[in-house]
Structure 1
Amino acid sequence: MTASAHLPLGTHLLADLSGVDAALLRDCAALESLLRQAAIEAGARVLHGHFHSFGAELGVTGVLLLAESHISIHTWPEAGFAAVDIFMCGAARPQVALDIIAAALQAGHCALQTVRRAPPDHA
């Protein structure tokens, strides 16, 4: 896949997931595995990932760099809340990734904002 394989057109999903069990929001390795699975099933190619736990009872921040852009998550176990950011271009399907993440986290509610990303001449 070359750098020119993807047009600068994409969908950026900003999802606030609430009502999530705190234990699911503290497990750094499980969250990384979940986001990797979601990216692959959405048709994206993972280039690199970095995830950080803030401590045993605290949240996680993580990001996957994708050939198609990125997925990130920031969690607050004490509030049962996760902020998920999914931006994908090309044939990748960001909604598929979000559906997988929300289902795995058993989110009670998902507040979603969808932004179409494109240069002015493609809007």
Structure 2
Amino acid sequence: MSQFLKLVPPAPAPEEGPLDHFVEDGERIYAGRHLTIDLYGASDLTDQSRMEQAFRDCVTACGATLLHLHVHTFLPSGGLSGVAVLAESHISVHTWPEAAYAAFDVFMCGDAEPERAVDILAQAFSATAVEVGTHYRGADIKQHLPK
């Protein structure tokens, strides 16, 4: 165990009610859904304003709250890396325009619906193929709560 983990005690268990922003779906309690979205055959992957607008459209459609948005352009390729920091977590991207490929992470907790970002991103960048993976973050949270 790291020294940091030894020094920082876990948060106390709530006395009543649900865990803050955790999702309960009848089968499990988890922090949120983390989608990995790979776009292939994508275009406009060097367009910073298009990326920023796509992030904003995702935030709105998913029912999330935007706190901060930053997109950086790498030269000479024009590839982008960006992050939208959300009250519910984040959306991030790295693009490889020379390969027409973009890798997005969309992680949201609470009532947000990260799956709504898939079609928005695919359409914004005219992807010819999309692969989506879903991971339930904190799916074992009940086992690790302080007693």
| Aligned partner of 2:36 among 2, 9, 14 | 14
Structure 1: gaps spanning 5 or more residues: none
Residues 37-116 of structure 1 mapped to structure 2, 5 A cutoff: 37-55=57-75, 57-116=77-136
Aligned residues of 2:50 and 2:124 also touching (Cα < 8 A): no
Aligned residues of 1:74 and 1:83 also touching (Cα < 8 A): yes
TM-score, L = length of structure 1: 0.87
Displacement of 1:121: 3.7
| Structure having the larger proportion of residues in helix | 1
Greater CA radius of gyration, 1 or 2?
2
Partners of 2:74 and 2:34 lie apart in 1 by 26
Partners of 1:120 and 1:28 lie apart in 2 by 38
Count, aligned residues? 118
Change over 3 Å in CA distance of 1:121–1:5 after alignment to 2: closer
Q: Which amino acid aligns with 2:98?
A: E
Classify the secondary structure of the residue corresponding to 2:78.
Answer: coil
Q: Which amino acid aligns with 2:129?
A: H
* Cα-Cα RMSD: 1.8
Aligned residues of 1:41 and 1:97 also touching (Cα < 8 A): yes
Classify the secondary structure of the residue corresponding to 1:25.
Answer: coil
Displacement of 1:55: 2.8
TM-score, L = length of structure 2: 0.74
Partners of 2:119 and 2:111 lie apart in 1 by 17
Q: Which amino acid aligns with 1:64?
A: A
Where relative contact order (Cα < 8 A, 6+ residues apart) is larger, the structure is 1
Q: Aligned residue for 2:51?
A: 31
